[in-house]
C-alpha cells in the first residue's frame, strides 16, 4: 500500500527542479490542451481520484507526463496528486508494473482501489515502437517528449478515471 502522506505536491516538485528543468516542465505544461470531451469528464468527476506519481526531474518522459496531472488537478479539486521519487520506492513501482520505469503514475479511488497504471509512455506509442527500427524509435520518442503525442497521454489517463 502506498502511503500518500509521504508524497509531495506538484508545487514542491517544481520548486525542487533546476532552472533548466523548470523551463522544460513549464513548456510541457503550456503545451497541454485537453479535448472538450476530456474537459467534460474531468469537470464532472464527483469522486476523489488519488494519483501516486513516481517521477524524477531529469527524466524527459516525466517532464512530458507530470504536467497533465497538474492540469487535471486544476480542473477538478477531487483529483489529488502525490509525487514520489524513485529512490527507495523501486519495490513499490515493481509491484504495480513488474519493472522500474518512470514516470509510473498510479490512479486510485478515494478508498485506494486501483483504477489503472500509466508506465513510462502511452501504451499505443509503445506498441508503435515494438517493431520500429532504432531511427524510428528515436523519432517517436523525441516527438512524444515534444508534445506530438499528448493526445495519447490524455486518452490513456482519462480512460483510467472516467
pLDDT digits (tens, 9 = 90+) for 107-146: 999 999 999 999 999 999 999 999 999 999 999 999 999 9
What letter does residue 2 receive in the DSSP assignment? -
Residues 107, 51 contacting (CB under 8 angstroms): yes
Indicate if the pLDDT at residue 80 is higher than 90.
yes
CA angle, residues 102, 93, 1, in degrees to nearest 5: 140
- The set of long-range contacts for 17-23, using a CB threshold of 8 Å and a minimum separation of 24, is 17/57, 18/57, 21/57, 21/58, 21/63
Candidates 56, 61, 27, 57; CA nearest to 140 is: 61
CATH class of residue range 4-161: alpha beta
Indicate if the pLDDT at residue 52 is higher than 90.
yes
Amino acid at each position: 500500500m502506498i502511503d500518500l502522506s509521504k508524497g509531495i505536491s506538484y508545487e514542491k516538485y517544481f520548486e525542487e527542479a533546476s532552472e533548466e528543468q523548470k523551463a522544460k516542465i513549464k513548456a510541457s505544461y503550456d503545451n497541454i490542451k485537453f479535448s472538450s470531451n476530456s474537459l467534460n469528464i474531468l469537470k464532472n468527476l464527483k469522486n476523489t481520484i488519488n494519483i501516486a506519481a513516481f517521477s524524477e526531474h531529469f527524466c524527459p518522459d516525466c517532464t512530458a507526463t507530470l504536467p497533465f496531472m497538474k492540469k487535471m488537478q486544476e480542473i477538478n479539486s477531487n483529483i489529488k496528486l502525490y509525487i514520489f521519487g524513485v529512490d527507495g520506492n523501486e519495490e513499490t513501482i515493481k509491484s504495480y508494473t513488474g519493472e522500474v520505469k518512470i514516470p509510473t503514475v498510479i490512479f486510485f479511488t478515494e478508498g485506494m482501489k486501483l483504477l489503472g497504471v500509466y508506465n513510462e509512455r502511452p501504451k499505443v506509442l509503445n506498441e508503435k515502437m515494438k517493431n520500429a527500427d532504432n531511427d524510428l524509435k528515436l523519432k517517436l520518442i523525441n516527438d512524444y517528449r515534444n508534445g506530438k503525442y499528448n493526445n495519447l497521454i490524455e486518452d490513456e489517463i482519462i480512460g483510467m478515471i472516467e
